């Protein structure tokens, strides 16, 4: 596609040059044609950067936690590799989300708010671009 457009521009420049116009006019047309080609190459090469954006893939995901119990719950999250920590408090019949959590394995510790004893501990594998929902009953 790109090479076709460039070849078309070159063909127009050459055909105008062979019409027998004065040398000054032909030179100006060739220069203008060259400028046009350079601008087309810049415009077409600029689109490549937009296409290479992979979005969230492989970078992060969203984790939402729904509390269906009668008590307020606190969830402590820790990323195993980066040691990033998050704390999420969910009210009864509520839902909270940890947005843009890094991909990888997260260790979670589920507790009633204000209590030291864990209700549940475990690991979560978060993969890129997933929207995970954890239901607590």
Kindly provide the residue ranges of all beta strands, DSSP E only, lying in 23-94, ordered along the sequence.
60-67, 73-79, 85-90
**Structure tokens, 90:** 């969910």
**pLDDT band, residue 35 (cuts 50/70/90):** confident
Give the mean model confidence (pLDDT) for residues 1-9.
60
Q: Are residues 29 and 85 in the same domain?
A: no
Whether residues 77 and 113 share a domain: the answer is: yes
Q: Which of 34, 27, 44 is nearest to 9 (CA)?
A: 34
Say how many domains are in the chain: 2
Where is pLDDT greater, at 48 or 36?
36
Q: Are residues 77 and 116 in the same domain?
A: yes
64 and 128 together in one domain: yes
Max mean pLDDT range (13-17, 20-24, 84-88) = 84-88
pLDDT at 57: 64
Task: Determine which of 11-15, 27-31, 94-98, 106-110 has the lowest per-residue pLDDT on average.
Answer: 11-15
The size of the chain, in residues, is 137
Q: Are residues 77 and 45 in the same domain?
A: no
Mean pLDDT of the chain: 80
Q: Tell me, yes or no, whether 65 and 40 share the same domain.
A: no
Q: Which residues pair with 97 in a beta bridge?
A: 64
Among 18, 34, 51, identify where a domain stops: 51
Shared domain for 66 and 126, answered yes or no, is yes
User: How many Å apart are CA 37 and CA 2, to the nearest integer?
Assistant: 10
Structure confidence by residue, pLDDT tens digits, 48-92: 544 455 566 678 888 999 999 999 999 999 999 999 999 999 999
78 shares its domain with 20? no
Cα dist from 14 to 6, 10, 17, 30, 61, whole Å: 12, 6, 5, 8, 54
For residues 98 and 123, state if they share a domain: yes
Q: What is the domain-level CATH number for residue 72?
A: 2.60.40.1120
* Alpha-carbon span 95 to 93, nearest angstrom: 7
Q: What is the pLDDT of residues 108-124, one digit of tens each?
A: 999 999 889 999 999 99
Same domain? For 37 and 64 the reply is no
User: What is the rounded distance in angstroms from the CA atom of residue 106 to the CA atom of residue 98?
Assistant: 12
Assess whether 79 and 43 both reside in one domain: no
- Chain centroid offset of residue 117 CA: 38
Domain containing 123 equals 60-136
Residue with tokens 């040398």, as numbered in its chain:
23
Q: Are the beta carbons of 121 and 109 closer than 8 angstroms?
A: yes
Please tell me whether residues 84 and 40 are part of one structural domain: no
């Amino acid at each position: 596609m790109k090479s076709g457009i460039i070849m078309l521009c070159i063909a127009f420049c050459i055909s105008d040059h062979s019409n027998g116009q004065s040398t000054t006019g032909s030179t100006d047309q060739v220069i203008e044609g060259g400028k046009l080609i350079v601008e087309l190459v810049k415009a077409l090469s600029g689109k490549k950067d937009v296409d290479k954006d992979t979005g969230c893939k492989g970078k992060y995901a969203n984790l939402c936690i729904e509390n269906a119990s009668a008590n307020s719950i606190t969830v402590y999250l820790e990323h195993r590799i980066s040691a990033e920590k998050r704390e999420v408090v969910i009210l009864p019949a509520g839902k909270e989300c940890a947005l843009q959590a890094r991909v990888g394995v997260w260790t979670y510790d589920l507790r009633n708010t204000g209590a030291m004893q864990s209700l549940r501990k475990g690991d979560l594998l978060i993969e890129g671009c997933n929207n995970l929902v954890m239901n607590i009953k």
